Chains A and B, each alone.
Chain A
Amino acid sequence: MNGIEKNGNTAPLDRRGFLSWLARGTAALAVLALAGRAARRTSAGGATRLVWQIDPAKCTQCGRCATMCVLEPSATKCVHAFGMCGYCKRCFGFFQPDAAALDESGEKQLCPTGALQRTFVEDPYFEYKVDEDKCIGCALCVKGCGSFGNGSLFLQIRHDRCVNCNECRIAANCPSGAISRMPIDTPYMLKDAERNPVPANRPARVRI
């Protein structure tokens, strides 16, 4: 029978049969690989990962970001849009609203932790920076700057600190609904000079 022996239900595999079996197996593996890849895409890439963020336009500076976050200090921090800042001598984010003398003594400062720091640039300009390690996200400076200045200070949830709780406590307690989930590829809602036009008024040394 030319090498083929019928012994019960089994028959020895010849060369053609082996090649056919190999081709079918390879095709099945390829189909499985494609299906697995598609499934992985659907589960990971299809539903984009989301993170919590504050919309500065809705924020009312209620102070709850400082007290409601599960982290201590809060994952919410003040950030500064330098392109909008007026570099004011009397900065209402820095000074108490009724401060008479404009020196850096503690009782004149608005920030309860001294996180907003200023340096003299040239008369009458000062540069203001937020020390994030000290900032507790209380929004006092944001309120002051928005009430009397250009509103260049605002709150953002910092994703290097945020643990991205399934139900964010500050979002649940935010009275203005300013906190919502954002796609991870656009995790911040920044203010900038393009969307908030102000004159290019700043000392030449720090012109942006």
Chain B
Amino acid sequence: MRADTIGMIRALLVGVLVVPFAGCEENVFSYRSDPLFAVDSNLISHVEVAAWPVPVPMPAFLAMRPDGCMIVAGGRMGAILCTNGAVQARFDWPGGAATAVAAAPDGRIFVAAGNRVVVGAGTKSAAIWDSLGEQAQITGIAADSNQVWICDAAQRVVWRFDFDGRLLGQLPLPGTPREMSFVVPSPSFAVAMAPEGGFWVVNPGRFQLQHHALDGQLLAKWSKPGMTVPAFSGCCNPAFVAVLPNGDLVTSEKKIPRVKIYAPDGTFRSVVAPPLALPGDEGRPVAVDRAGRVLVLDGKKIRVFERREGGAR
């Protein structure tokens, strides 16, 4: 009788302890990528100091004007924001939704709308260029004082135009070896002007950044494929690039969303924003202001990151 009672209590205990966990068996086919999202805090160099709301319904692209104003575009609407985040003007354009935006030193705004470029002077549309073709998919624009570089992700070409929309050339240059061709597995293909001259273009499928002279000649390249923090992960990264006044590169990645800084020779410097600070998995457009602050377009706000005291160099 006593043994029966003990047996019953034992069975009851087992039931109480085991039954609640019966349905929580571990997934034997779980995909463990969490460690890839971790960043050592010693590598983080910047701290967020401000977040400015953006008065555009679907902000998707960010560019800096030489006077320090920010240009945000998305959908069929854009806005110009002052250096303190206040809205200076709004603009729209005829044609499709924005897929990239850039500003020239003279203040002209270039918006990629579908497969063509709309040039704006102030807040007015001044010209619409011819289509780059049915297949074209513009994902990046950069402009200097008289030329515009347009990244066409679908055709894997960087087109070079003058300000009147005349085609001047393209990358890869004729005769470029196949190993140097652009590989663009997903529609992220970015370009940025370099303060020391020329421009930087991302070769995302090769996890590579290429420095070209204004005539298109290749000056330097470096690539960082891998899954560690100093490398570019995923199928194709970085998604966006900007250049700091000292020539360092700010990169923004997707899938493992993070913003990082590299020296022009490819040396990894630091992390501006780790994945923990950038929820989701999409890449964020980045820009830098004259003070060297990093601006990240994150949803409906521009987040401002400033170098922190004692941060990684």
Contacts and interface: CB of A to CB of B under 8 A. Distances in A.
Interface of A: 61-64, 66-67, 86-92, 97-100, 110, 112, 122-124, 138-140, 143-144, 147-150, 197-201
Interface stretch (B10-18, B77-85, B211-219, B225-233): B225-233
Interface in B73-105: none
B31 A198 contact: no
Task: Count chain B CB atoms within 10 A of each CB in A98, A123, A138, A144 and give the residue with the most.
Answer: A98
B153 A90 contact: no
Interface in B188-242: 205-206, 225-227, 233-236
Contacts of A86: 185-186, 205, 235-236
A138 B33 CA distance: 16
Interface in B152-211: 153-154, 156, 178-179, 183-187, 205-206
Nearest to A198: B186
Contact of A199 (B33, B137, B255): B137
Contacts of A62: 27
Nearest to B34: A97
B31 A97 contact: yes
Contacts of B233: 148
Nearest to B233: A148
A149 B29 contact: no
A61 B185 CA distance: 23
Contacts of B235: 86, 88, 90-92, 148-150
Query: Chain B at the A interface: mostly helix, strand, loop or mixed?
Result: loop
A201 B36 contact: no
B28 interface: yes
Contacts of A91: 235
B135 interface: yes
B35 interface: yes
Query: Chain A at the B interface: mostly helix, strand, loop or mixed?
Result: loop
A112 B255 contact: no
Contacts of A66: 29
Report the interface size class on chain B.
Answer: 20 to 34
A63 B28 contact: yes
B5 interface: no
A62 to B, nearest CB: 6
Contact of A97 (B137, B225, B227): B227
Contacts of B41: none
B96 to A, nearest CB: 14
B2 interface: no
Given A86-B235, A199-B156, A147 B33 contact: yes
Contacts of B234: 92, 148-149
A8 B77 CA distance: 101
Contacts of A112: 29
16 contacts: A61-B31, A63-B27, A64-B27, A86-B205, A86-B235, A88-B236, A98-B36, A123-B178, A124-B205, A140-B31, A147-B255, A149-B234, A149-B235, A198-B185, A198-B186, A199-B184
A86 B234 CA distance: 11
B29 A63 contact: yes
A199 B186 contact: yes
A201 B153 CA distance: 8
B178 A201 contact: no
A114 B16 CA distance: 41
A185 B16 CA distance: 49
B62 to A, nearest CB: 22
Closest CB pairs A-B (n = 10): A86-B185, A63-B29, A143-B31, A138-B29, A199-B154, A148-B234, A149-B235, A88-B235, A63-B27, A199-B153
A61 B33 CA distance: 14
Contacts of A124: 183, 205-206
A73 to B, nearest CB: 13
Contacts of A144: 31
A122 B227 CA distance: 23
Contacts of A99: 227
A197 B225 CA distance: 25
Contact of B185 (A88, A147, A197): A88
Contacts of B256: 148
A90 B225 contact: yes
A200 to B, nearest CB: 6
A9 B210 CA distance: 111
A197 B186 CA distance: 9
A67 B33 CA distance: 22
B110 to A, nearest CB: 21
